[in-house]
Amino acid sequence: MINRTVLVGRLTRDPELRYTQSGAAVVSFTVAVNRQFTNQQGEREADFINCVMWRKPAENFANFTHKGSMVGIDGRLQTRSYENQQGQRVYVTEVVADNFSLLESRAESDRYREQHGQGNIAPSGQSSFDSNPFGSSSQAGFNNGNAFGGDTQSTPANNQADATVDPFSNNGGADIDISDDDLPF
């Protein structure tokens, strides 16, 4: 049996991070997902899907996302029910997210927030997450490459260590010495 859900959309509000009595982190959020078709007025409608995520991914999600963030969610659909204070049975359907992906850079996220009147969430100089920190030529949001927010001095040695090195390049015409015993096949 298969129960997989993949969503791509924007957060409708800031994620709500809470902790259980046993100390497990849980974050709840809503993702607005545009439908593939337009209505009679030519406008796209959206579905607002409630999601929940647990433990360390929940903490990361709460730290690196905010209202308006474009995210990808991978999880499973779950239904549950409970009895409210009036004694009525309430049914809840939600996505229990296993993984997430940030689908825009910090600059794109800030631009979206400004266009929609949400302002900046992080004060200038504080760390934020770049959705592609390893494939990007800039280190936006990583405070000079330090993901933990500490200041690092930019020295030639540090810059050289950050440079991508091709292990298969022909370094100055020298032959690469590999014996048949080194090959895996």
Q: Please write the tens of the pLDDT for every residue from 67-99.
A: 989 999 999 999 999 999 999 999 999 999 999
pTM reported for the whole predicted model? 0.58
CA angle 33, 34, 36 (to 5 degrees): 130
State pLDDT tens for residues 166-183. Answer: 555 555 555 656 666 666
Tokens of 84: 């409210």
Q: What is the mean pLDDT of the chain?
A: 74
- Cβ atoms 45, 39 nearer than 8 A: yes
Domains of the chain listed by start with CATH number: 5-120+129-136 (2.40.50.140)
Please report which residue ranges of 69-172 form alpha helices under DSSP H.
Answer: 106-115, 156-162
